Structure 1
Amino acid sequence: MNKKQARLFAIGSTALAALAFLGLTIDSHRQFGKLTNADRITADVSRGQDVWHENNCINCHTLFGEGAYYAPDLTKITKLRGEAYLTAYMKDPSKFYDENKHRRLMPKQNISEPDIKALISFLDWVSNVDTQGWPPRPILVTGASFPGTAGGGGGGAPPGARPVSGAEDPIALGESLFRSAQPACVACHSVAPGVNMAGPSLAGVSARAEQLLASGSYKGAAKDVAGYIRESIMQPSAHVVPGPMYSTNGTSFMPATYGTSLTPVQIDQLVAYLSSLK
């Protein structure tokens, strides 16, 4: 290739690259409204964005992979934590931490209740933006796991669980649901003894349920262990575990949506798995 050919090749390839870049840019802008659910940007969402900036949340947290990477990426936080939990957390984060154990604490921002509600609306809008897999490896909240990913903070065979084998084993299928339901149970619960996250550890939940049913302090309607676990999934506020980390005013922070998001067969499988945690 002589100098003239090399020059023409450079000019041509640059022009083609520029055209491809321009085309992709135009196509991206064409899809932004749909990808970002622009029609769902309400006054609350806009106010929540202002609250996010006014409190310098990005100095510690990240959205869409952009931020300080000092604290968890919050792009999908409302897929992992419910509104009741997030509201109580933002009112007083210290209730969710042991300063001597965790050291790195979120400061109390003294955000008003309307602004907390707006901020959650903003984060919920963010969580529904189609990021097409970005960021590829966000810093997640403790134990978080998204459907289709490897297990999170509840990994490994739980102590006391019956060995499972075969794709049709209800316990094996229930364990898979524990990691892949929306939101994933493993995002809030560990199956390791003593590892309490947003929800209490479920290690030995079957034995504890049996003791609770016999204690006289149980307030729900279940008659046996399987019924108690089913009730905890379908109606988490029927009997709440004491403590500010898990409930407020008698209402559990656990989402009450599994009765509609999971089929009866899936509920049976999840109950079978949790019942195996002796």
Structure 2
Amino acid sequence: MTNRQGRLFAIGSTAVAAILFLVMTLDSHRQFPELTNAENITPEVTHGKDVWHKYNCINCHTLFGEGAYYAPDLTKIAKHRGDPYLHAYMRDPSKFYNEQKHRRLMPKQDLSEKEIKDLVTFLGWVSEVDNQGWPPRPILVTGGMTTPTTMGGEGEITDADAASVTPVDSGSDPRALGEQLFSTAVPTCKACHSLTPGADGAGPSLGGLVTRTKKLLESGDYQGEATDVESYLHESIVSPSAHVVPGDMYSAGSTSFMPASYADSLSEKEIDQLVAFLATLK
């Protein structure tokens, strides 16, 4: 190749790369409004973003994997924890930690109620952004699971993980289908509940659930309408505030921090399958 041909090749390849970059950039901007639900960017969302920057949340946390890695990524935290939990947590994080056990704590920022409300609204908007599976790895949310998951990582099951699970045949044992739902329902049960007795997280451990439920139903302290273990498990899934588990980590007054969205996101058949699995946790 002569010098002239080399120059022409360099100029041509640069021009092609520049055109491809321009086309991809324009195509990305074309999709941004739909991918980010731009129509849902309210003044509250914008103020919540300002609160995020005002208190330097990014110095410890990440969104979409970007930021500091001292504390968990919060891209989907609104879906995993829900508004009541996030409000209570931001008012006083110390209620959700034990300094000797967890060592590093989130500082109490003394946010106003308006700041908390709008920050939660902002995180809710972030959680609805189509991030196409990014970040691609499971990220541990402190106070959640601390044991390896069946997806080969430590922490929460990501949306990408859920999509990669091989569906169980519809003719399989309902308990097996329920076990799969425990790992793949949205919000993911495994993000808050351990199956190891005594290993409480953002939600109480489910180890020995059946035995504890029987004792609760016989104790006179039960506040709901269930009459047996299966109906209690069903009630706990579709109406978690019917009976509130004591403790600041799990409820605020008469409102459970467990998401109340499963009645809408799961079919009645799926709920029955999940109950069948939970009923095996003697």
1:176 is aligned to 180
| Equivalent in 140, 157, 164 of residue 145 of structure 1 | 157
* 8 Å CA contact 1:36, 1:129 repeated in 2: yes
2:277 is aligned to 273
5+ residue gaps, structure 2, are 146-155
The normalised TM-score by structure 1 is: 0.91
Matching of residue 93 in structure 1 with residue 93 in structure 2: yes
1:117 is aligned to 117
Deviation at 1:64, TM superposition (A): 1.6
1:216 is aligned to 220
Q: Distance in 1 between matches of 2:68 and 2:32?
A: 25
Deviation per residue, 1:223-270 (Å, 9 max, x gap): 111111111111111111110000011110011111111111101100
Deviation at 1:29, TM superposition (A): 1.3
Task: Describe the shift of the 1:145–1:36 C-alpha distance in structure 2 as closer, same or farther (beyond 3 A).
Answer: same
Aligned pairs, how many? 266
Letter of the 2:207 partner, please give it: A
Task: Describe the shift of the 1:49–1:138 C-alpha distance in structure 2 as closer, same or farther (beyond 3 A).
Answer: farther
Runs of 4+ with deviation above 3 angstroms: 164-167
Secondary structure at 2:90 match in 1: helix
The alignment-based identity, stated in percent, is 64
RMSD (Å), alpha carbons = 1.8
**Matches for 1:47-196 after TM superposition, within 5 Å:** 47-137=47-137, 139-141=139-141, 142-143=144-145, 144-149=156-161, 168-196=172-200
Q: Distance in 1 between matches of 2:129 and 2:239?
A: 29
* 8 Å CA contact 1:148, 1:180 repeated in 2: no
Deviation at 1:132, TM superposition (A): 1.8
Deviation per residue, 1:135-194 (Å, 9 max, x gap): 22263413322345179xxxxxxxxxxxx9996110110010011111011111111111
Deviation at 1:195, TM superposition (A): 1.0
Matching of residue 226 in structure 1 with residue 230 in structure 2: yes
Task: Describe the shift of the 1:89–1:259 C-alpha distance in structure 2 as closer, same or farther (beyond 3 A).
Answer: same
Task: Describe the shift of the 1:138–1:190 C-alpha distance in structure 2 as closer, same or farther (beyond 3 A).
Answer: closer
Task: Describe the shift of the 1:165–1:13 C-alpha distance in structure 2 as closer, same or farther (beyond 3 A).
Answer: closer
Q: Distance in 2 between matches of 1:231 and 1:132?
A: 34
The normalised TM-score by structure 2 is: 0.90
| Equivalent in 248, 251, 259 of residue 263 of structure 2 | 259
